Amino acid sequence: MKNNNNLYCIIMAGGSGTRFWPISRKHKPKQFLDILGTGKTFLQMTYQRFETIVPKENFYIVTNDEYVSLVKDQLPFLSNEQILGEPIGRNTAPCIEYANQKIKAKNPQANIIVTPADHLIIETDRFLQDVATAIGHISNNEALVTLGITPTRPNTGYGYIQIDPSKPINNSLYKVKTFTEKPNTEMAEFFVKSGEFLWNSGMFFWNLQTIEKAFEKYLPETHNIFVKNFDKINSSKEKEIINEIYDQIKSISIDYAIMEKADNVNVIKSSFTWSDLGTWFSLYENKPKDANNNVINANQNIIYDLKDSLLYTTLNDKIYAIKGFSDIILVDTQDALLLINKNDDQSIKQIVNDMKINGKDKFL
Return the closest-CA partner of residue 109 out of 10, 213, 6: 6
37: left (phi over 0), alpha (psi -120 to 50) or beta: left
Domain hosting residue 149, numbered range: 7-275
- Is the pLDDT at 15 greater than 90? The verdict is no
Residue 216, helix vs strand vs coil: helix
Task: Indicate if 99 and 44 belong to the same structural domain.
Answer: yes
pTM above the 0.85 mark?
yes
Q: How far apart are CA 228 and CA 355, in angstroms?
A: 41
Q: Are residues 335 and 358 in the same domain?
A: yes
Domain annotation covers residue 50: yes
Q: Is pLDDT of 157 > 90?
A: no
| Cα–Cα distance measured from residue 223 to residue 228, given in angstroms and rounded to the nearest whole number | 9
Verify that 207 and 310 share a domain, yes or no.
Answer: no
Indicate whether 215 pLDDT > 80: yes
Asked if 200 and 240 sit in the same domain, the reply is yes
pLDDT value at 1 more than 70:
no
In a domain, 252, yes or no: yes
Distances (CA, A) of 10 to 100, 178, 257, 287, 363: 9, 25, 18, 28, 31
Best-predicted range by mean pLDDT among 60-69, 186-195, 342-351? Answer: 60-69
Predicted confidence (pLDDT) per residue in 246-305, tens digit: 999 999 999 999 999 999 999 999 988 898 888 899 899 889 999 999 999 998 999 999
Verify that 159 and 288 share a domain, yes or no.
no
d(CA 30, CA 43): 9
Last residue of a domain, one of 242, 275, 308: 275
Q: Say yes or no: 60 and 127 in one domain.
A: yes
- Clarify whether residues 258 and 358 are in a common domain: no
Question: What pLDDT sits at residue 304?
Answer: 95
The angle formed by the CA atoms of residues 155, 15 and 220, to the nearest 5 degrees, is 95
CB 279 within 8 A of CB 262: no
The 3-state DSSP class for residue 206 equals strand
- Do 111 and 206 share a domain, yes or no? yes
Does the residue 11 lie in any domain? yes
Write down the pLDDT at residue 4: 84
In a domain, 2, yes or no: no
The answer on pLDDT for 343 being more than 90 is no
Shared-domain flag, residues 228 and 297:
no
Percent of the chain with pLDDT over 70: 99
Tell me which range, 116-130, 176-190, 209-223, 273-287, is most confidently predicted by mean pLDDT.
209-223
For residue 179, being part of any structural domain is answered with yes
179: domain CATH number?
3.90.550.10
Whether 1 is covered by a domain: the verdict is no
Task: Note whether 202 and 292 are same-domain residues.
Answer: no
CB contact burial 221-245 (16+ within 10 A = b; e otherwise) = ebbebbbebeebbbeeebeebbeeb
Domain identity same for 147 and 16: yes
pLDDT tier for residue 182 given thresholds of 50, 70 and 90: confident
Is 144 in the same domain as 223? Answer: yes
Work out the average pLDDT over 167-179. 92
| pLDDT given at position 14 | 94
Q: How far apart are CA 24 and CA 30, in angstroms?
A: 5
Q: How confident is the model at residue 2 (pLDDT cuts 50, 70, 90)?
A: low
Looking at the predicted structure, is the pLDDT value of residue 325 above 80?
Answer: yes
Which of 233, 256, 275 is where one domain is finished? Answer: 275
Residues contacting residue 129 through CB under 8 Å, at least 6 positions apart = none
Q: Mean pLDDT score of the chain, rounded to an integer?
A: 95
Phi, psi of 145 (to 5 degrees): -115, 140
> Would 178 be classed as within a structural domain?
yes
Tell me, what's the pLDDT at 346? 78
CB-CB contact of 36 with 140 (8 Å): no
Among 275, 308, 324, identify where a domain stops.
275
Domain assignment present for residue 352? The answer is yes
Domain count, the chain: 2
